[in-house]
Structure 1
């Protein structure tokens, strides 16, 4: 505890020293009294925050989280990822703290609670910090609201630079506290097919998972994906990409079924004659009935028997969940080619 006591006194004196220029500027007699007290114990303010602008290492046990901070939920997996990087590289961005008015020599976190928690997980006993007594709850909200996380494109470009240096994907993953799959997924963004690269770079779609799904679809159905993305009004969501995948795969499957069916060898021309016939524009090859239920888009499941008359099974487009509902509660949107 002797080491902690040595850190504690300078930090408290630093907080006092921060108030003196203001009092002196006001020319108050009370300020002179404070200055006299400071001269009685001339501890340099640079101990808690060095003169070259660098933060000091403060004992973790002297720091407490602010019970009124706006951030309430902390993702445990994210904290453990951060802890892994801290264990290797330490905390590179100091946290901000202020003196605890109720416990002399202790501090309260202004911002940096995630780094503080992750440092604890990493087994750190000290953390770099700046002392800032002029900090309010509004400042905490602003700091969280205005923090811009790295975009997927920026992450991909960083990974690309590391790969260009011949750094292995596993080592990149370890350095940034992510899984090798995460690195591979973002590395895919470096060499996208032109139609998909266009929607990604224009930020029409920023979901890395969706981009990778579209890449997989493009490899099998390049024309279908290109035509689908060419519609600028087409919304790109998990639900719509799932519908596109089902549509493209079902169309491909039907073609294979006609070519590879149980047609007797003696009549090989029959399937070809069917393929050469002009399609009937008034007939739907595969009908999809789109509906709306509780304000959410979906479709009727036509091959599943309902439990009662007046009901039907349906499937939501946004999350793929299936349910049975009264047809009276469903709004018919359209009947389209599937």
Structure 2
């Protein structure tokens, strides 16, 4: 595969012009293969499959059969490797189907890997984590640029860059993102924190069920606490606890000589002010 054209023959020629709907229009070149002769792509970017969704699709396949052909490549062992359609393949097995319709395409092992990654990114609802890992693999293992990926997926280069930035997060935060415990927009907010602080803040976000806006405020408070000139650790802790209790930005400032200081509570509107007052009175 040349650096000039990393996708080789391209998605259109290898995958064919097949839409994602379950069209009943016959597709030229389709053949039926025993389902046991087909093996999955070992480089499938999706790490998790929704079992309930596959079970629902299996019920549909029992009634209608597989309308959209799987895309496969013949291997040297007499079997066929999936390029596209693992979800349908899994559902067909669950439905007890003996054969499935396929379209065979010629592709080298390297082209197949790239196609499997790009096709899944383009057509499947991957988790943000799986999508970012797949994009990174295309760049590191196959020499694609962010522009190549953006063009193949029909996305802007900026969206590809933003997706890849997620991989800078703490590995434990990435695991929360992969499991769906943390939303992509929320995880992206944590990128401005030091790596060592990201996981603890993420845990607080999940525990309190914070929105993206609330997470932004928490990250801002945390960052400000880090930059204040050597505040006493107990004061910083009290400041954070009070901010969490009141649901508002709180600043505690101490006078160096007298030991006193002032407490500043910031509110955005009268409704939030009333909420703060009610919480103080409670």
TM exceeds 0.5?
Answer: no
TM-score by length of 2: 0.42
- Higher relative CO (Cα under 8 Å, sequence separation at least 6) belongs to 2
More helix by proportion, 1 or 2?
2
TM-score by length of 1: 0.36
Pick the structure with greater CA Rg.
Answer: 1
